[in-house]
């Protein structure tokens, strides 16, 4: 085990899979000589060359469409879209083509593509570069949706996504790129659809993902000093969703708080809440399921407003206390 960053974990996953399989390649805006907008692919152009680390035009529709076409004809493309906000330009190719082809051809066609994109707020990039759009993708049958929260998860889940025969939307939250964590040197893969209990607890379950995971873990550690033991569960993949682990934790603690950065209205937290309410866990609950999410507003440019547009340590702590006291 050695300590590397989230960005390094993603780069290692891509590089290792490209060394193993000549059909795997990376494409996107400035992923070549520049090394990607967030520096994730630095050095890959020098190792693999311009045929396998391909700079594309500034057209997200072209990136997603070319990736889908390459995938269905036998390649395994990793397509990078610089900001998740720009996936809106690629929605026809992603939603109406990539997600549908395997079904429409009765399983005879496969679409093994990964669409990597950076999501979330916190960098002062304002309303058009800071959105959390994962619920859009989760609503589309045929797409898998992954949001890792640690370097270990980022590497293992990306390797699984690259090897998957279905289109996977892989969302990397910007503020995590420089976060460090322990990652094995040997090869490993984390199966899509497996949640992870990041912290054991008995008084309340927080279900959260992405950059909210370290924030919730910090709150859990702080509240443990007050005798409140919080269990933090990270789904890691939203589609497929590890319902069994989430239900088991809800039954164990009897209280559930769902936290995510995306806006509350139509957010994936509502799907998690409904799933738990529809399960046997409902009969174990000692309080209503609560959601703490981003405000239903475009992300502001002003740093103080931006910070308070999404859950913070303070608001998470208040939400926990409202459920346990």
Q: Which residue in 76, 129, 144, 255 is the catalytic one?
A: 129
Whether residue 129 lies in the annotated active site: yes
Burial of 108 (0-12, 13-18, 19+ CB in 10 A): exposed
Please answer whether residues 205 and 258 qualify as being in contact, where contact means their C-beta atoms are separated by less than 8 angstroms: no
Pairing status of strand 114-119 against strand 76-81: parallel
Residue 198 is inside which H or E element, if any? strand 196-199
DSSP assignment of 228-295? --EEEEE-SEEES--HHHHHHHHHHHS-EEEEEEEESTT-HHHHHHHHHHTSGGGGG-SS--EEEEE-
The DSSP symbol for 87 reads G
The CA R_g of the chain, rounded to the nearest whole Å, is: 19
Category of 142 on φ-ψ map: left (φ > 0), alpha (ψ -120 to 50) or beta: left
Residue where the block lists tokens 């399983």:
107
Q: Which residues are catalytic?
A: 129
């Amino acid at each position: 085990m050695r300590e590397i960053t989230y960005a390094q974990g993603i780069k290692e996953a891509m590089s290792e899979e490209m060394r193993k399989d000549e059909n795997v390649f990376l494409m996107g805006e400035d992923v070549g000589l520049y090394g990607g907008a967030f520096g994730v692919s630095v050095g890959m152009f020098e190792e693999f060359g311009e045929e396998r680390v391909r700079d594309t035009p500034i057209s997200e529709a072209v990136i997603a469409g070319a990736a889908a076409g390459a995938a269905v004809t036998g390649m395994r493309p990793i397509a990078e879209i610089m900001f998740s906000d720009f996936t809106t330009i690629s929605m026809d190719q992603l939603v109406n083509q990539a997600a549908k082809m395997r079904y429409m051809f009765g399983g005879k066609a496969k679409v093994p593509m990964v669409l990597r994109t950076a999501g979330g707020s916190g960098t002062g990039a304002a309303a058009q570069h800071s959105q959390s759009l994962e619920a859009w993708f989760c609503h589309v049958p045929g797409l898998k949706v992954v949001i890792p929260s640690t370097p270990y998860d980022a590497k293992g889940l990306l390797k699984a996504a690259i090897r998957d025969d279905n289109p996977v939307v892989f969302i990397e939250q910007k503020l995590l790129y420089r976060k460090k964590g322990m990652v094995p040197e040997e090869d490993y893969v984390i199966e899509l659809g497996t949640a992870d209990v990041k912290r054991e607890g008995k008084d309340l379950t927080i279900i959260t993902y992405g950059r909210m995971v370290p924030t919730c873990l910090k709150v859990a550690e702080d509240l443990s000093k007050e005798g409140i033991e919080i269990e933090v569960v990270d789904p890691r993949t939203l589609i497929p969703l590890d319902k069994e682990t989430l239900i088991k934790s809800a039954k164990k603690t009897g209280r559930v708080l769902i936290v995510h950065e995306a806006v509350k209205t139509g957010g994936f937290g509502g799907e998690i809440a409904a799933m738990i309410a529809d399960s046997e866990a409902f009969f174990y609950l000692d309080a209503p399921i609560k959601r703490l999410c981003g405000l239903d507003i475009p992300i502001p440019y002003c740093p103080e407003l931006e910070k308070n547009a999404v859950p913070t340590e303070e608001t998470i702590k208040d939400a926990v206390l409202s459920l346990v006291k």
